[in-house]
Each structure stands twice: as structure tokens, then as C-alpha cells.
Structure 1
């Protein structure tokens, strides 16, 4: 669950960034849309008073001199008033109580010609004294310092910067900062996602592509290895398991093809020998080699034996082919076990004894109702007997026992031969498998096709039964056939 957990954490982080960015944007838009236009603060007049305080001090100290100013006499402090007003970048008009302008910085000489409208021109309220977008006119009463009586009016024209109180910015700084941080973090997460996908997803998939191409070319030896225990690692593990299974199937197919070729070779050889013998005896009969009927009958017996051998080989091959096609016919019919097995075992005794072996038939056969195909059961027992003949020497014993165990019929075919080698035991029911044989039995082993026991297993399973064995080296082998009763 590594990738699932990683993507879950990544998705949560990216979602938080987007949510933070969205909320900050909404807050910023709301704040800007509802922010009221700033107004001139009420204490701006005090700022103007501070700005003109020095000029007002001079006017209050020397207002009497201004009242007595004429064209011929000019007080010295007027130059100082003019210099201060220019230094502070403001204009000053001083008028007496009757409105006569006694001093004007814009036109200092001559004085007394202009006259103010005391009601219209004098404004003590800054907000109503605006004369433009960037300047204000503001009047201050000039008070005599000795008597405390108003001596005149000073009318100042100031710039907006001189009267506006500096205010802290009301712009919401936190919201843009959060938005910027969210965007940067989201970009970082996207970069991490791209890097993660490239390094831990696309590159491993590219590696799997190369491994798949190797498998298509028939190279199954290259293992799929991945160093991390995550979802990609699990894919690699499954892929490698698939590679192993494909490799094993390929080996099995090669082994099967080889076995089939060997089967055809063996059957061709096994058929050629009796065919040659049959042809030779027939030619001998036709050529008149046999002088009398007993000699002809002796030849016919040999021909019949070879013909039966060929028929058995062809039957095994046919059953094998039908089994691969899923078309092997097993016709189950109800019959009594005693009669069925007596008919099957009766012709086998002389055949076994003729091979120099001791044959012990069942002392008693249970007479129960069974559902079997007598032809296929005879084929099964014939294959077991033939297999026992391969593993026994002259004088050995082959024994057949049939007993009833509960609701099953148990048939045992045992011999006192050399037994089956331990390394061959897991494979004896496999098709084409013939196993290894002692040197004295090697020739007999080569005569087989490796299909007999495989066919036996298929017939037993088709009867809803089972077949098993027990073998001890130098002590013989026992095969057990279990058939249901009823």
C-alpha cells in the first residue's frame, strides 16, 4: 500500500494548498471590495497648525508692525516670513480684522491693496477649505500675545502632504502572502509528483517492457527484480512468477514434443517388428514353405500373436489421442462384479504362465453391483499386468486380489519383482514416462510407449475411482484400484 498511502498524503497536501489559496483569495477580494474610502482624519488640522506654528509666532509677535507697514518703510521680519514660507512650500496671506491684506507671500509688495471677503474666504475647517486635489486653504486667527485679542487673520495655502496624517496601510498583507505560499507549495508538490512518477513508476514499467520483450524472444532466464516492497514490487514479483511458469511450461512443451517424437519413433519401431514378422510368415505360407496343416496353424499362431501386439499398440495410441481430445469413451453399465472380473481375468492366466511367471488368481470375488465399462476395466488390468511382467523375472509371482471395503471394491495387482526406483515414483502416471530399469529388464522397458499407467489413471478417474501404488526395492510393487459400489 506504499503508493496508495503516498498518493493519499500528496492529494491531502495539494487539496490543502488549493483550499488555502481559494480562501485567501476570497478574503482578499472581500476586503478590497468592502474597504471604505479613507477620509481626511480630524487631527489633520493639528498637523497644519504644527506646520505653520513658526510663521504664526512671528505674525503674533510683529502684527503691529504689519499694521504700520507703508510703501516707504518695510519691517525686517517680513523677509524672514517670506523665507520661511518658501522653505516650507506654502503661501501666506495676512489680513487685518477688516479684511485688508497686509502681507502676501505671492506678492509681498505693495500691501494693503487687496481685500478679503471675511465670510467667503476665511475657512477654519480643513475639509471645506479644499481648493484643489493636492492643496488646502486654512485660516488661523492671529492673537495679540499681550492683550489676548485677535489682531488679524492668517490665511495659509498648504499642500495635501503637509496636512495628511501618515497612516498604516490597510491592505491585507496576510492573504497575498498565504496565496503566494500556497502556489509555491503546490508547484513543489507537482514537481515531486512528476519526479515520483518518473522514477518510481515509469522507469520500472519501462524495465518490465524490456523483460516482456525478452520473454517474447524466448529468453526466460532474465529475472524480474525490484528493490522495494511496494505495489510496483508486487507487480514485479507476479511478473517474475509468470516468467517462471512460462519457462516451466516451455520446458514441459519441449519435453512433451520430445516425448511425442520418441513415442512415434518407438511405436513405429514396435509396429515394424511384428509387421515384418507377419509379412514374412504370410510370404512363407504363400510360397508353400509349410508342408502340412499343423505347420500352417503354427505360423498362424505366430501371426495372431504379432497381430495382437500391434493391436495393443494401436489401442494405446488411440486412447492417448482421444484423451488429449477429451473424447475417450467410457460407457458405464450396471453389472455384477464376480462375472465381470472372472471374464476379464480368465484369459490372462495362461498368458502370464506362458511368460514363466506364477499367477495367483483371487480366491473369491465379491458379487456386488457396480457401474463399470468392462472393456476399459479389462484394458486397465491388462496394462497393470503388462507393467508387472516388465518388472519380474522367470519364477516371480503376479497376484490379483479383489475385496470389498465398505462401499468400495478394492482390486490389488501385486508382483514380487524388482520394484520401482524411488526417483521414478512421482512420475509413473505421467504420459510417455518409462523410468529406468535394471540391466536385465532394459530390453523389455524399451518395448513400451510410456502410456500404459497414464491410461490406467484416466480410466480409473472416469469410473469415479482412483489408482495408487506401493513399491519396495527388491520386494515388488502393488497397485490398488478403488471402484465405487452400487
Structure 2
């Protein structure tokens, strides 16, 4: 039996061995079910068998060895790339992911050889073609995995850099207020000046970091749930936001039970970005209103500001990274100082908690962001 025929006939048995090996790749495998462990193994094997049955010239073989696009197998590449992405998502490291292909190669050859009466020249040709397909699949999986690692790293750096701006602004504003006091001696003034200079340098470094990761963002946020009060978190977020803009204090309205199991740090990110966005883009002559409403299974967070509405054409992309919009009425928005990460971070935090977020924006009613957070996972 030719190797491609053997793979098709025994594909389920081969995938069973793949699954048994994947179970040993801990700790990620401990939390995976059978379907997740088997992943794209069957698709990869069947695509490999189809590729082995197609005619191939020496030039095509040489091109495939070099990874040239015209000699690749689309269905094999797609399955392998999806496998690499998903293995990264569930927590496999790169060595574990690549070891699956090593085991798959050895398993197929071992099972096939056990079924052979005596090897023929065609058998060696089959092994060459099979190794080519596994190498191609491994290369695609590795590339997809590496891309996910890069995107996740860059998303972390982008969020870190973006969220450092709020406390830096608060420090800078506080030093400005301290320097206006009349009873400060020269030594105290020098300390304040050092703080101010250090803050300016840190802001420059954060700006450089955000420039570096401007177009390289990535995947879901990890959350550590603990019991917390969303209303209390809102009060803290408003206090911190007002350190940067002391002339504008949002109004907080609380209704019902506002406790739930969420990640306190991530919720803090969400609140800082939503409230900061409302202060930045809202009309300075109108107040920002933050409402927290406890319902049976969810807690709603509503942030409202008046002013220039979001353009209808922008509503669909407002949560995308690197999307920026200006508000000419607020007098607070500097397009060059914003990378458009705030609402992207908000959406990521909401998704990580299994919630939802919507936005409405009209000339008469202003702009309202509504976040619905389930009390428990």
C-alpha cells in the first residue's frame, strides 16, 4: 500500500496517537478536551496525502524545499497555520508545538513500515514526499505561532505604554500645582523640578514605546477575577482622572448591587480609558456622567458626555486599534498625542470578562458608552 493510501485508510488511528502524545505536553494539555488536543491533525494528514498524489517535477520539488509560494499546498498551509495559532492560544510553547510534528512524522512512518511486506523504490519516493509535506506544515505552524507571540508581546507593550500616560499626567499636573505655592523654599523647588523633568523624560520614553508597537498589536487579555465593587472602582478612577483635569469632575450615579467577580486592575484600565475618553472628547461646558446600575446577573456601566458626536462612518471602527478621532468643540484633543489605543483596550478588557460594549452618538443626545459585565464568569 502506498503511503498516501495508508494515511487515508488509517487517519483516525494516527490522530489517536497524536492525541495521546499531545496529552503529555503539560501544563497546557491539562485543561484541554479531546477535540482541542486533536485540533487540525486530521486536516493536515489528509492534505498531505492529497499533495503526495499530485505529480511533481524536480523543479517543483526544489521550489518546495525553498518554501516558494507557487509550490505550496494551500489546504495544508491553512490547516497548519491554524494549528500554530491555536496552540499558542491554549498555552503550548514553541518546542511543544514543533514536537507534535516530530512525533507525527515518526508515528506515520512506523505504522506504515509495519504494514509493508517489502520496501520498493516507490516507498522511498513516498517517504520523501511525506517528509516534504510535514516540513511545509511545520514551517507554516511555526510561522503562525511566532506571529502570535510577536502580536501578543506588542499588545502588552502598547497597553503598558498607553496606560502609563495617565499616572504620568497626574504627576506632572501635581508638580505644576505644587510649584505655584508661595511658601516653598529653594531646595523644595529643586526637588519638584527634578520630578517634573523625570516625568517629562518618562513620557518621552512611553511615546517611543508606543511608536515602536504602533502597528503590531495582538490578542486576548488574561484576567484574574476577584470580588470587587464596580462603584468603588469608578470613584477611584474619577479621582485619578481629575488629577489630570481638576477643573472637570464627572458625576457618579450608583443604583443597586454593583459587586461582581472581575479583574480589579483590568477594570481600572477600562474605567480610566472610558472616563478619560469622555473628558477628552466631551464639550467642556457639559459634565461627564458615569452611571453604575446593578441588575440580576450583570452590572451596567454607562459613561455619557455631550459635545461633537462621533461620525456615523467611524462608529463601526471606533474600537479598532490606531483609530483616532478629533473633537473640535472640546478644546482638549491633540491628534498627534493619541494613538487610538484607549477604546481598543476597553474592548479587550470587556471581551476578557465575557461582557459587551456598545456606543451611541448623536447631535442631540451626545455620546454614550454602555458596558455590560456579567457578575461571574
- TM-score calculated relative to the size of structure 1: 0.36
Higher relative contact order (CA 8 A, sep 6+): 2
Structure with more helix by fraction: 2
- TM-score calculated relative to the size of structure 2: 0.45
